[in-house]
Structure 1
Amino acid sequence: MNQWEDIYQISLPLPFALRMINAYVIKGSTGITLIDAGLNIEMDVRAWQEAQAAGGWQWAEVEKIVLTHYHPDHYGLAGTLQQWTGAPVYLSRTDHEQAQMFFGRDSQMPEEMMSFFARHGLPDEWATQIPDHMRSFHPWVEPHPKASWLEPGDWIRLGDVDYEVLHTPGHADGHLSFYDPKRKWLIGGDFLLPKITPNISLWPNCHPNPLDNYLVTLERMKEREVTKVFPSHGPMFDHYNERIEALERHHAQRLNEMRSFVVDKRRATAFEVCEHQFGTDHTIHNLRFALSETLAHLEYLRLRGELSVEERNGMVYYKEI
């Protein structure tokens, strides 16, 4: 467990490729704040209990639970932590609504996503796995918390420090980060990671141009002076502007590679571009994110007028203008 003044980093195991998520405990004179929750799995329950014992605090001391966004590794255990602590759970209204859309028991999003991916070239043997795969997350995110909303521009007290609530979308439409202007510290969730690139995905019924949303966010966040970033994956880091610039270069290169592939082939489905960009050795979990990220880049190019689309026999193809 790493510590920086009042902030303690808790490592929570994940049963998929990322392997680990950082949650944070912030200690204050009146109580404790938890930042992000992990999954509702035994490994993460045990990790929280071990962190509690090592830190010498009780569940009754927790005064709030704050979520950066709705993805299962951040949101999943929040309802259980709320039951244990009685504390309010804060997140953006957008991400609360999207948690219900993706993971609600009555949601038809799994079938809608299957059809969406099939139209973009995903073969039936993969597409038909999507509904069961998405519904397999239900036990990891239940019970859903009773949520309170945070809005960009709000201020929230975490421990004994007032943080500005910043909207940092792209990875998730309602993603929030938290900025301490005195120490110039940023609790950044998945907005900015020290080594890996945050996944930027296009999903049905969500932002139609998430990559543009993310690139605009990166440009806007350059205005902030940040001396420490506390990310959800990887160690705390201080090369803030350098990391933003590296991510901008990464996406520019990927856009160029995808556009060149489409132009060379004259027309291609998103799935064909995905296999070219990310290879063919996938699980359904990884393929879902790879194809969604491919679509985010292709739609960015289309909306900028660099590619167009045509539909043939119910299949969407990208092509040069």
Structure 2
Amino acid sequence: MNRWDDVLEVRLPLPFPLQVVKAYLIRGCTGWTIVDTGLHSSEGIQTWEAIRKQEGFQWEDVEQIVLTHYHPDHYGLSGWLQLQTGAPVRISRTDFDQAQLFWGDGSRQPEAMAAFYREHGLEQEWADQIPAHLRRFNRWITPHPQPVWLEAGETIRLGDRTYEILHTPGHADGHLSFYDSERGWLLGGDFLLPRITPNISLWPGCDPNPLHTYLSTLNRMKSLPVKRVFPAHGEMFEHYRERIEQLEQHHQKRLRSMRQWVEQEELTATEVCFREFGQNLSIHNLRFALAETLAHLEYLRQQGESDRQKREGHWRYSA
């Protein structure tokens, strides 16, 4: 556990490959702010209870819960924490709506995802696993919170300091980051990570060109004078601009690789995915790998560098 002045890092366990997500607890003279929450699991609750006792505050001392985006490891425990604290949960309206799209009552997104993947060449035996796999997350994100909307371009008090609310989409359509311009500190969620690349995925019903969005976000954010980044995965880091440039280079390299595959022959996104990421993937990892492959292929297509045709029920990409 690390502490920087008023900002305390909270390491929350995850039952999938990332293993840990970082939330942040910010102390102020009128109470505490929680930034991101982890999953609704017994381990997550135990971690928060241990932190509360260690820091010596009661749940009613939490004045707000602020979310960078809707993904389960950030959003999942927000409803439970709201019930304990009575505090408002603040999130972008876009991301709350997408939480409902994926995990709201009566959601058909799991079936839409399976059909979407089938159109892009995923074998039926794999696609049939998608709905149950996605619905497994419901237990980790309910109850849903009663939200208050955050608007990019405005400011918010976190603890005793004023942060600018920045829209940093790509990883999630309504992803927000929080910037303290006096210190040059950025609470970045999954916008910028020090060691791994944020997953950029194409999902039905969401941004149709998320990689273009993410690259535009990186370019727009590059000039921000950031001295420290507090990420959701990995350690606090200070090489902000260098890391942005590394991620830009990573995606350009992957775009070149995928373009070479479809120059050689006409391929489905699933075929490209297995060539890029290998075939020894769990259903969890395959879902992300295929969605990231699609984000890159659709970027190429919308840039005019590739084409696609539907043959025998499957979309096939060519240069």
TM-score w.r.t. length of structure 1: 0.99
Instruction: List structure 1 runs of 4+ shifted beyond 3 angstroms.
Output: none
Tell me, in whole angstroms, the C-alpha distance in 2 between the residues paired with 1:105 and 1:283. 27
Secondary structure of 1:32 counterpart: strand
1:248-278 CA distances to partner (integer Å, 9 max, x unpaired)? 00000000001001111x2000000000000
What amino acid is aligned across from residue 252 of structure 2 in structure 1? A
Query: What is the alpha-carbon root mean square deviation over aligned residues?
Result: 0.5
Whether the 8 Å CA contact 1:105–1:138 is kept in 2: the answer is no
Q: Which residue of 1 aligns with 2:88?
A: 88
SS of the equivalent of 2:106 reads: coil
The structural deviation recorded for 1:301 is: 0.1
Contact 1:9/1:24 (8 A) holds in 2: yes
Unpaired runs of at least 5, structure 1 = none
* Structure 2 match to 1:291: 290
One-letter amino acid matched to 2:22: N
Would you say 1:256 and 2:256 are equivalent positions?
A: yes
2:94 is paired with a residue whose SS is helix
What's 1:272 paired with?
A: 271
Residue 290 of structure 1 aligns with an amino acid whose one-letter code is A
SS in 2 for 1:182: coil
Instruction: Give the equivalent residue in structure 2 for 1:179.
Output: 179
The residue that corresponds to 2:280 in the other structure is 281
Deviation string, structure 1 residues 229-260 (Cα, Å, up to 9, x no partner): 00000000000000000000000000000100
Measure the CA separation in 1 of the matches of 2:193 and 2:55: 26
Measure how far apart 1:56 and its partner are.
Answer: 1.4
Q: Which residue of structure 2 aligns with residue 231 of structure 1?
A: 231
Equivalent-residue separation in structure 1 for 2:81 and 2:285 (angstroms): 28
- Name the CA distance, whole Å, in 1 between partners of 2:157 and 2:77: 22
CA deviation profile, 1:13-67 (whole Å, cap 9, x unmatched): 0000100000000000001000001000111111111111111111110000000
Amino acid at match of 1:162: T
Q: How does 1:1-321 map to 2 (within 5 A)?
A: 1-264=1-264, 266-320=265-319
SS at match of 2:105: coil
User: Does structure 2 conserve the Cα–Cα contact (< 8 Å) formed by 1:171 and 1:201?
Assistant: yes
Residue 10 of structure 1 contacts residue 25 of structure 1 at CA under 8 Å; is this kept in 2?
Answer: yes
Alpha-carbon distance between aligned partners in 1 of 2:146 and 2:276, rounded to the nearest angstrom: 40
The CA distance in 1 between the partners of 2:48 and 2:258, in whole Å, is 42
Aligned equivalents of 2:255 and 2:100: distance in 1?
Answer: 32
Cα separation, 1, equivalents of 2:290 and 2:71: 17
In structure 2, what residue type is equivalent to 1:279? G
- Residue 275 of structure 2 aligns to a residue whose secondary structure is helix
d(CA) in 1 for partners of 2:58, 2:210:
40
Alignment partner of 1:214: what SS?
Answer: helix
Deviation of 1:105 after TM superposition, in Å, equals 2.6
CA positional deviation for 1:178: 0.1
Residue type matched to 1:309 in 2? Answer: R
How far off is 1:88 after superposition?
A: 0.2
Identity of aligned residues (%): 59
Q: CA deviation at 1:282?
A: 1.1
CA contact (8 A) 1:77 1:140 kept: yes
The separation in 2 between residues aligned to 1:269 and 1:170, in whole angstroms, is: 23
* 2: CA distance, partners of 1:42 / 1:288: 26
d(CA) in 2 for partners of 1:37, 1:78? 6
- Report the CA distance between 1:141 and its aligned residue: 0.3
Is the CA contact 1:3–1:9 (under 8 Å) kept in the aligned structure 2?
yes
Give secondary structure in 2 for the equivalent of 1:163.
Answer: strand
**Structure 2, unaligned stretches of length 5 or more?**
none
- How far 1:298 sits from its partner (Å)? 0.2
**Displacement of 1:283:** 1.0
Distance 1:129 1:172 in 2: 23
The one-character-per-residue Cα deviations of 1:150-185 (angstroms, maximum 9, x if unpaired) are 111010000000100000000000000000010010
Distance across 1 between alignment mates of 2:10 and 2:39: 13
Deviations 1:168-205 (A, max 9, x none): 00000000000001001000000000000000000001
Aligned equivalents of 2:241, 2:52: Cα separation in 1: 34
